[in-house]
Structure 1
């Protein structure tokens, strides 16, 4: 009797886990769909807010413009960034707004050769007037291992964008959002204004949700069938 209770509780826990995974995938899909709609509206209007005021907002997407002073600190190369069928790095550089707030500027994407020889872009210097999309940093995924490694030339190769770790490495608190420079401005490298280029799109999350719900349904049917057979056998 005790064994049957334990097995029953275990089955309930498995069923709840499968359902939880399904609802989590649905929620992620909805979150990403809302983000895409927000970005589409921002890019359609392109009503530029002053950079300093926009940086004070910790979340969301904002079209912004302002004067930017690039700092003499190492470039940051975010590894394993895909563009089409190629793998490369996204290039970031720390900069200051007029009011002194420090933040990362997304300068674009560069390919990495098959021998894993990293590109060696030259950092920007001085003060420029920039315009672009303020957005959250790329999703870090599952945080395993160090956030970055220091290359021989001083460049930081990032495994993920960890704001706390990078703030310590650059000796300056960084804003919660990144400025992706308008592709129309002739600086940096290849870039666009896509906000979900290296992550699952909403429809993929919905498809995975259906898979988890299907597994939950199949598991429930299996458990009910086993219980019925045991009941008939005992009867």
Structure 2
């Protein structure tokens, strides 16, 4: 066929364009935003899944709490042999020491300010225990909270409280006298200060003799709070991705407009 004929022309198909070129025409986020998103999105997702795992841990903890709450209380000797596990119920019989009371500050109930009253309790077997008798209102800090301590021997039921996370420490107290206002409590440090042999955990009274308001939550933060935090982290990751995509599309449009106006 003669040169210039129909069969001699070489035609290029649009499909032979460089891979990704069409995408770059419509999406150009730039290296800086891309690197930022590559770092932040996995971190936000990790935080979300970590909060979900914390929620599962709290659900398991609540299940253990409920199981031990329904179980019969142990004798003090059995509790010590078991290592005083969290939420375990225990039977006590003895007397309170009214001379060395601790007032745990900044405890609110239904928006009302107050304190929790903790007192040493000497079991008939000679063991000292730090017993939380419950919450007291303290509306006016110019006057001391009012409470009474029974003089007679008492038969009580309590359960072991172990704070999650970092342990409470005896410190940040107001004054050196008694009753002593504290922000954090460590039973072991109290026994060292008083020179007594005692169980190094806090026991919380169940409703009954000598108890004030004992409606403690099993956990300071329930699983629903962790799920809420997880949703926040996932939402932030999704919002960041949406902003990244919008920015990349807008940047590509700006680049095309600039090229159209100034092709050279």
Q: TM-score, normalised by structure 2?
A: 0.67
What is the aligned length? 226
SS of the residue corresponding to residue 29 of structure 1 reads: helix
1:1-235 maps to which residues of 2 (within 5 A)? Answer: 4=31, 11-45=37-71, 47-56=72-81, 57-71=83-97, 74-97=100-123, 101-115=127-141, 117-123=143-149, 127-137=153-163, 147-151=171-175, 153-163=177-187, 165-172=189-196, 175-183=199-207, 185-192=208-215, 194-196=217-219, 199-226=220-247, 233=255
Residue segments in structure 1 that go unaligned for 5+ positions in a row: none
Separation in 2, partners of 1:203, 1:114: 34
| Structure 2: runs of 5 or more not aligned | 1-29, 260-264
Give the root-mean-square deviation of aligned CA atoms.
Answer: 3.7
Do the aligned residues in 2 keep the contact of 1:74 with 1:154 (CA within 8 Å)? yes
| Mapped partners of 2:175, 2:147: distance in 1 | 13
What is the SS of the residue equivalent to 1:149? coil
Post-superposition Cα deviations, 1:125-163, rounded to whole Å, max 9, x if no partner, equal 5753321222324x57898x9833134742222223345
Partners of 1:220 and 1:205 lie apart in 2 by 23
Q: Deviations over 1:27-68 (max 9, x none)?
A: 3322322232222233334x1211232145243221211334
Partner of 2:10: none
Question: Where is the strand percentage greater, Structure 1 or Structure 2?
Answer: 1
**CA–CA distance in 2 between the matches of 1:168 and 1:176?**
10
Report SS of the residue matched to 1:157: strand
Return the alpha-carbon distance in structure 2 between the equivalents of residues 49 and 35 of structure 1: 20
Going from structure 1 to structure 2, the CA distance change for 1:227 and 1:121 (only over 3 Å counts) comes to same
Q: Whole-Å Cα distance in 1 between the matches of residues 34 and 190 of structure 2?
A: 48
